[in-house]
Amino acid sequence: NAGVTQTPKFRILKIGQSMTLQCTQDMNHNYMYWYRQDPGMGLKLIYYSVGAGITDKGEVPNGYNVSRSTTEDFPLRLELAAPSQTSVYFCACSPILAREQYFGPGTRLTVT
């Protein structure tokens, strides 16, 4: 039982490039989330999903897109990367909405 896995662990992007951050969970939770964490700051919600085919914006969705075709997978797409997107990205899941969440190990992204 791996819980929540994220790939890649680290990535350096050039300005204007695109990439997809992968997130997979084997906990059979309906609810999944993407957060970013900047140094010394709290986690900010980017997007979340309440089930396959259903996604919604969080607090800071600009510059990102998501899809949810299965219960297990919730990829985050960055289009036209900008230096402001340099951050640590965490994926999480939960059995109940807005209740305790379980996080993946994170992806450290640098955009230069």
Partner 1 sequence: RKEVEQDPGPFNVPEGATVAFNCTYSNSASQSFFWYRQDCRKEPKLLMSVYSSGNEDGRFTAQLNRASQYISLLIRDSKLSDSATYLCVVNKGSARQLTFGSGTQLTVLP
Nearer to partner 1, 15 or 76 (CB): 76
What's the closest the beta carbon of residue 80 comes to partner 1, in angstroms? 26
What's the closest the beta carbon of residue 70 comes to partner 1, in angstroms? 20
Nearer to partner 1, 28 or 42 (CB): 42
What's the closest the beta carbon of residue 59 comes to partner 1, in angstroms? 7
Nearer to partner 1, 56 or 79 (CB): 56
* DSSP assignment of 49-103: EEETTEEEE-S--TTEEE--SSSSB--EEE-S--GGG-EEEEEEEESSTTS--EE
**Edge to edge, what strands does the sheet with 4-7 contain?**
4-7, 19-25, 76-78, 64-66
Residues in contact with partner 1 by the rule CB under 8 A: 35, 40-43, 45, 48, 50, 56, 58-59, 90, 97-106
